[in-house]
Amino acid sequence: MGEIREQKKISVGLWVFLLVIFSFLVISWRYSPTEHFFDEEGVYELETVWHGERQSESVDSLPAVFAHDENGTATVYTTIDEKWMEQGNTLCFRASQEAVRVWIDGSLVLEQGNLDIGIFGQAPSSGWVMFRLPADSGGKELRIELSSPYENYQGLLHKVYIGTKAALLFAVLHTYGLGFAVACLLIAISVVLFLFYLLFFVRKIPGSQFLLLAVFGMLAGIWMLGESHMLQFFTGKLAAWYNMTMIVIHLMPLPLLGIMEKLPDYSYGRICRGGRYFLMGYLIMLIGLQVSGIRDFMQMLNISLMILLLICVGNLFLIYWEFFHNHNKKILPMVVAITIFSVFACMELTHGLINIHRALGSYLQVGVLAFYVVLCVFSIRTTFDLYVQGLQSEYYKKLSYVDQMTGCMNRRAFTEREDSWVPGGNDVLLMIDLNDLKEINDVMGHHVGDVYIKKCSDAILDIFGKLGDCYRMGGDEFLFWGTGVPEEKLEKLEEELRSRVQEACKDISPVCGVASGHAAATPEDRSVEEILKRADEKMYENKRYVKM
């Protein structure tokens, strides 16, 4: 009862401690003065009328699709209003798989994107288009040319924003920063998991699930970086990132299928393995089509997404079937993770249907992160439990090999080593026998005999323990098993042992002492028993000599 009360006191004290810290932080946040933000300048959606060269109707709201020629090029224009300069001096819009050229009053001010980059396909990639308006641009014509090889993106102009360059950059950061942060978090977690895997690999502990999770997290992080619309903060290699993102989209299911294949008692592991091989072959085919110029990633995207969707839905069905129909409760972590992800995916789909022109949203990003974190938590818990069980098993195994009284290895440990012995080595066996133990037990009592045994075993371990293994073979019999110990050194150690035992046991009886004999393995020996027999004979010769 006292212990329970003490635990309750500790628990209450901990909650009080946390409450004090939380209250302090809340009060500090509430009464701290508000400083100036870095992004106090505003960003405004450009309000103007846009005209297309190949269409008669004008457009006063974006995004919109303008008429284009047979090459997929659309040209739109408007007149720069002098009032724009009151809102800012920089225009910004998003180009989706489009090459862009901008003119002001007939002068080319910006050219971005490339429709043909050789073996890497013809995708101009997607990126932010940002350019500064000259101070005297009021009343001049702004002309934008948009070119795309893909029908879905031809003539598409997204919303155009105006503001200072700093304000526009902060607006991009605020809008897409969550996706970027989630991507970085996924990559950081995957690095930690990879370190876990290396640790387990060095310790020879099964941990392949950590490697698979690390690979999935890294791939998901790279995919989200590509979808974050923020890579231009760090690099201009947008076409390379586009190709990397497309590769990663096809690679992401591979580690997940590997994780599913290794689920405990999972009935459909072969299907997962087949899915992995199919995706690997399909990706090689895609790279071949792109390098040869027949079809590139974007042209195959709809087929790829359909294949990935079928694989995801099929494996989702198999997971639920295995759990509910086959009653495999061991895969509960995967069921929980997939259920959480499915909820976020449905929210993303619903939001996407409402906002057709919207890019990848936060629901799917958070869903992937939640799915990943749940799998990681369950994997770490499971592996930790297995590791603790392994340590306990190893501990009890060691206990079963140790003689509790002396600390030497027992006969069971000797037998196991004997069974695995391979002829041809340079093993040395030394038999040791305590003199007159039975007489001491009969005259002075077994408790004195136990002291005699313990002092002898301490001397044996101290002298021979660093050179090999010491075994207690029976009541008064010990064995040293070493490797490559020279005979001269062994004889000196035997003499040291006899002297040590006589000195340590002289208070017990003058008859206390040890007899010993050793034998080295020869090429002719086919078993440990042959070596042991020779060592035993020498020991009895020594015993007879001592008693004379």
Whether 486 and 367 share a structural domain: no
- Joined together, the tokens standing for residue 83 give 């009032």
Look at residue 33 and tell me whether its pLDDT is greater than 80: no
Which among 164, 186, 20 has a CA at the least distance from the CA of 92? 164
For the segment 113-122, the average pLDDT, to the nearest whole number, is 67
Q: Is residue 472 part of a domain?
A: yes
- Residue ending a domain, choose from 333, 368, 394: 394
3-state secondary structure of 171: helix
The dihedrals phi and psi of 485, each to the nearest 5 degrees, come to: -90, 120
Sign of the dihedral through C-alpha 407, 411, 414, 420: negative
| Whole-prediction pTM | 0.68
Burial class (CB in 10 A: 0-12, 13-18, 19+), 305: exposed
Residue with tokens 């031809």: 154
Kindly state whether residues 223 and 365 are assigned to the same domain. yes
3-state secondary structure of 114: coil
The pLDDT of residue 357: 42
- Cα 288 to Cα 247: distance, rounded to the nearest angstrom: 13
Q: What is the pLDDT of residue 361?
A: 55
Q: In this prediction, what percent of the chain has a pLDDT beyond 70?
A: 91
User: What pLDDT, on a 0 to 100 scale, did the predictor assign at position 208?
Assistant: 84
Q: What is the DSSP letter of 230?
A: -
Establish if 400 belongs to a structural domain: no
Provide mean pLDDT across the span 287-308: 88
Of the candidates 219, 214, 222, which has an alpha carbon nearest to the alpha carbon of residue 194? 214
Residue 423 and residue 351 in one domain: no
pLDDT the model gives residue 471: 94
**Amino acid identity of 109?**
V
Is 505 part of a structural domain of the chain? yes
Is position 141 within any domain? yes
Q: Which of 262-276, 466-480, 531-545 has the lowest mean pLDDT?
A: 531-545
- Pair (188, 153) in one structural domain: no
pLDDT tens digits along 224-254: 898 888 888 888 888 888 889 889 989 999 9
User: What digits encode the pLDDT tens for the residues 58-101?
Assistant: 999 999 999 999 989 999 999 999 889 888 899 999 998 899 99
pLDDT higher than 80, residue 403: yes
Mean pLDDT of 40-62: 90
pLDDT over 50 (residue 118)? yes
Answer yes or no: do 448 and 535 share one domain: yes
C-alpha–C-alpha distance, residues 166 and 130, integer Å: 11
CA-based nearest residue to 333, from 278, 266, 277, 396: 266
Phi/psi at 445 (5° precision): 105, 155
CATH of the domain at 478: 3.30.70.270
What does the pLDDT read at residue 5? 59
Are residues 480 and 464 in contact, defined by beta-carbon separation less than 8 angstroms?
yes
The CATH number of residue 98's host domain is 2.60.120.260
Q: What is the pLDDT of residue 546?
A: 60
Residue 460 is predicted with a pLDDT of 92
| Helix (H) and strand (E) counts in the chain | 15, 15
Residue 270 phi, psi (nearest 5): -65, -35
Going by the DSSP 8-state scheme, the letter that residue 409 receives in this structure is B
Whether the predicted pLDDT of 56 surpasses 80: yes
pLDDT at 359: 47
Is residue 50 within 8 A of residue 62, CB to CB? The reply is: yes
Query: What's the domain count of the chain?
Result: 3
- Identify the domain boundary among 163, 189, 205: 163
Of 401-405, 471-475, 541-545, which gets the smallest average pLDDT? 541-545
pLDDT of residue 355: 53
Residues 148 and 85 in one domain: yes
Q: Are residues 425 and 323 in the same domain?
A: no
In terms of average pLDDT, the best of 38-52, 154-168, 433-447 is 154-168
Q: Is residue 430's pLDDT more than 90? A: yes
Q: Is residue 312 a part of any domain in this protein?
A: yes
Assigned domain for 403 exists? no
Looking at the structure, do residues 441 and 340 belong to the same domain, yes or no?
no
Average pLDDT over every residue of 131-144: 92
Q: Does residue 377 sit in the same domain as residue 440? A: no
User: Does residue 405 lie within any of the structural domains?
Assistant: no
Q: What pLDDT, in 10s, does the model give residues 177-231?
A: 888 888 999 999 999 989 988 988 887 777 788 899 999 999 999 988 988 888 8
pLDDT for residue 1 is more than 60: no
pLDDT-derived band of residue 275, with 50, 70 and 90 as boundaries?
very high
Those residues whose C-beta lies under 8 Å from the C-beta of residue 445, and which sit 6 or more positions away, are: none
Q: What is the spatial distance between Cα 202 and Cα 237, in angstroms, rounded to a whole number?
A: 38
Which one of 368, 394, 420 terminates a domain?
Answer: 394
Residue 356's pLDDT band, with cuts at 50, 70 and 90, is very low
- Residue 18 domain-assigned? no
Residue 96 sits in the same domain as residue 208 = no
Q: In what order do the strands lie in the sheet with 44-45?
A: 44-45, 160-163, 90-95, 127-132
Distance CA 521, CA 527 (A): 9
Question: Could you list the residue range(s) of the whole structural domain that residue 115 is in?
Answer: 44-163
Are 347 and 200 in the same domain?
A: yes
- pLDDT for residue 79: 94
The span from the first CA to the last CA of the chain, in angstroms, equals: 67
112 and 219 housed in the same domain = no
Q: Per the structure block, which two tokens stand in for 284?
A: 């090689």
